[in-house]
Amino acid sequence: MTQLAITDYFPVPVGEIHMPNAESLNDGLKARFLSWERNEPPRTTVPTPVVKEAVYESDFSLFRRNDPHVQQLARFCLSHVGEMVMRMNRYSAAEMRNLRIYDHSWYHITRKGGYTGPHNHPMASWSGVYCVTPGATDAAHPDSGVLRLFDKRAEANMYLDAGNAHLTAPYSFGNMGWNLRAGQLIIFPSYLFHEVAPFWGDDERITVAFNCWVREADQASDEPLVKMRSGEG
């Protein structure tokens, strides 16, 4: 009797990791970001069409700042992008050494009532969010500041019955959300639509976001921030 074959055809890889002993780094980043927000001249980057409310967004060159805290964070984030690239493409160590990773990176400071509307990043392959501080929690708003990734299968739940209502992962469907914790990094494919739900704390929710694209060394037109090696960015 022939056995039924079940294959995973449309899964989405999402990476998650916590930086160990991140308290000192996050304290330093918070102090710098709040200072830069107050003291730097107005940003000259072209506004994006993404809807934002009560959100301060820096320019997109954060990881190129000559600041030890920022450089420590850049190494942490991009090394794990490199790990995602290596594992998801099954690249060898030699293949990884021939790759270069480029990024846009910036920080967000979100205050009470602030949110970022649904969007994706179509000109990159991997995106990520690192949490410097999640801000104060609000028992009345359990989804305050939630980072939400949207299920890309828009019609997956068009009809529900006992045959498909309780599918197990990775076949289940629905959006995924994180109440981020300080030091937590989420990496996901840039094509995924995502949002930040309204934040209701009385302080600040501070995160770092980045988009990455990868080129072979002979296709690189300028010097990347990081040359990828085996298992790191």
Q: How far is CA 105 from the centre of its chain?
A: 10
The pLDDT assigned to 100 comes to: 94
Look at residue 159 and tell me if it is in a domain.
no
Look at residue 160 and tell me if it is in a domain.
no
Look at residue 20 and tell me if it is in a domain.
yes
For the chain, what is the domain count? 1
Look at residue 33 and tell me if it is in a domain.
yes
Query: What does the pLDDT look like over 11-40, one tens digit per residue?
Result: 999 999 999 999 999 999 999 999 999 998
Look at residue 156 and tell me if it is in a domain.
no
Look at residue 233 and tell me if it is in a domain.
no
Look at residue 202 and tell me if it is in a domain.
yes
Strands 194-196 and 205-216, how do they pair? unpaired
The pLDDT assigned to 1 comes to: 57
Contacting residues for 105 by C-beta, under 8 A, at least 6 apart: 60, 61, 62, 63, 64, 74, 77, 208, 209, 210, 211
Q: Are 191 and 103 in contact (CB under 8 A)?
A: no
Here the CATH number for the domain that contains residue 62 is 2.60.120.620
Look at residue 165 and tell me if it is in a domain.
no
Range of 88's domain? 15-149+172-227
What is d(CA 11, CA 169) in angstroms, rounded to the nearest whole number? 9
Query: What does the pLDDT look like over 87-140, one tens digit per residue?
Result: 999 999 999 999 999 999 999 999 999 999 999 999 999 999 999 999 998 889
Say what the pTM is.
0.90
